[in-house]
Amino acid sequence: MTREHDHDDENRPDETDPVALLRAADPAAGVEPAAGFADEVVAKATAEGEPVAAATPAADDPAPVTDLAAERARRRPRWLPIAAAAASVAIVGAAGFWLGGATSSANLASSAAPPISLQGVNGGSAGAAEDSGVPESAMGADQKMMGGGAADSMVPYGWGRHAFTSSGLSEEEGDAPGYAYDSGAEGTEARVAALAAELGVEGEVELRDGSWIVGPPDGTGPMLSVGLDGALSFWFNDPAMNPWNCGVGTLPGETTESSEPIAPIDPCEPTGTAPGEAAAIDALRALIAASGADPADFEYSSETWEGSPTRYAQAWPVVDGQRLDQGWSLELAEEGTVNASGSLAAIVAIGDYPIVSEQEGFERLSDIRFGAQMTAMPLAAREGEVATEEWVPPTAPPATPGDGTAVSWPVDDVEIVDARLGLTTQWQPDGSVLVVPAYEFTDAEGGTWSVIAVADSALDFSAE
């Protein structure tokens, strides 16, 4: 059944606003929790060393009140870098950023090839999804109970079973350079301090909980965290610069003159105007320079959307004429930088890898050891031209299958029309990060699929 058009225009999401589109896709949109529900959940989750029953107050005692703003700020640094990384895979395509309704977007001096990622558009990694192509972690309980057939009818383009065809691909093998992130370089602590100074974070550099930390990690002020992973990934957040914190008179955790905790204030609509494109990119360039890297080794992009009080800037390191998929990002408000993330580790050459031919790489698309990963949606899907069906609640169960009913086993035919050799990042089990050769294949619909190009002889297939 095709989508109905009898809704009022005011109920339709603004197709020029990516935030509106995301909200419209939320199945829980419009559902409000019962009064006090959020406070009760957070209070239980943050209780330490207390039995669950202690979270329920006596009849005569007031319900515990948790400062939600402080909790959000305290927890935010742990998941945002991961979410940002996953989101970047979904929105970066062959033409750079795809934000649907971004009112101001630019790719400045974009002469490099786009990134190649071995992580799919839905966040799945190679190897997840043997039968249906759907990472099990992405399937809800209902989908698991329904089995592959029901899931097949629900998954988006790029998931499921595929039959790949192609012709005219090269059968020439060879070698291609490889790189690595140098996380063990001397002077890392000094670089962390320099980055903190550029961001206006005061305090000493401390090694805590597996990260270099500058500033309070509880959300009461600007904080910089640099993880001890192979890329030295960092995250910065300044709650005072966040326009959406405008409903809080003082920073979370502060007290009044009477030393009484400040009660949470309802969120407010942010005000202000997004900074200009040049301002956001210049701020990111200054941050890269403060880290000890050369801003000229990156390519930049910036966007915002109508009504937003902030602007985003992105930077991608360019190696051998190609952007890498481990980029930097910065969100800028009128008053200063709201948050930023990136990688402090320098990229160093580690010699050549033997690579398979385009034809062998194509054959890996059907090899369960490598797993075909769609890394960009077809052009029609990116431009919103794919027809979707509106779900209609059933009024009766489906008809009982009869003798000889064919078993539904949908297979998507994918015709590969082009191949490109490039680079992708590969995280090793010990946390180190390689930059290795990979193939990106383009299909007839404009979608792209990627596989590692390193020959079997240089791959470690052990599971331990």
| pLDDT attached to residue 402 | 96
Residue 252 has pLDDT above 60, yes or no: no
Residue 389 has pLDDT above 70, yes or no: yes
Residue 62 has pLDDT above 50, yes or no: no
| pLDDT attached to residue 388 | 67
| Rounded average pLDDT over 72-94 | 37
Contact 387, 136 (CB under 8 A): no
| pLDDT attached to residue 161 | 84
Contact 134, 159 (CB under 8 A): yes
Lowest-confidence region among 123-137, 192-206, 253-267: 123-137
| Bridge-based pairing state of the strands 206-208 and 373-376 | unpaired
Lowest-confidence region among 9-18, 117-126, 338-347: 9-18
Task: Please give the full DSSP string across 172-199, using - where no structure is assigned.
Answer: --EEEEEEEEETT-TTHHHHHHHHHHHH
pLDDT per residue as tens digits for the range 295-318: 999 999 999 998 899 999 999 999
CA nearest to 425, candidates 235, 181, 196: 181
| Rounded average pLDDT over 155-165 | 67
| pLDDT attached to residue 271 | 82
Please, what is the average pLDDT of the chain? 74
CA–CA distance from 313 to each of 224, 341, 385 (Å)? 18, 11, 28
| Bridge-based pairing state of the strands 174-182 and 161-165 | unpaired
| pLDDT attached to residue 149 | 37
Contact 299, 109 (CB under 8 A): yes
Lowest-confidence region among 97-106, 152-161, 273-282, 387-396: 97-106
| pLDDT attached to residue 323 | 95
Q: How far apart are CA 223 and CA 113, in angstroms?
A: 34
Residues of the chain above pLDDT 90, percent:
50
| pLDDT attached to residue 245 | 80
Residues in CB range of 235: below 8 A, 6 or more apart: 77, 80, 81, 224, 225, 339, 340, 341
| pLDDT attached to residue 128 | 34
| pLDDT attached to residue 57 | 43
CA nearest to 188, candidates 215, 207, 162: 207
Residue 372 has pLDDT above 70, yes or no: no
CA–CA distance from 407 to each of 139, 156, 403 (Å)? 22, 21, 11
CB-side neighbour CA atoms (13 Å) of 246: 10
> What is the helix (H) or strand (E) element at residue 69, kind and residue range?
helix 68-91
Q: How far apart are CA 248 and CA 246, in angstroms?
A: 5
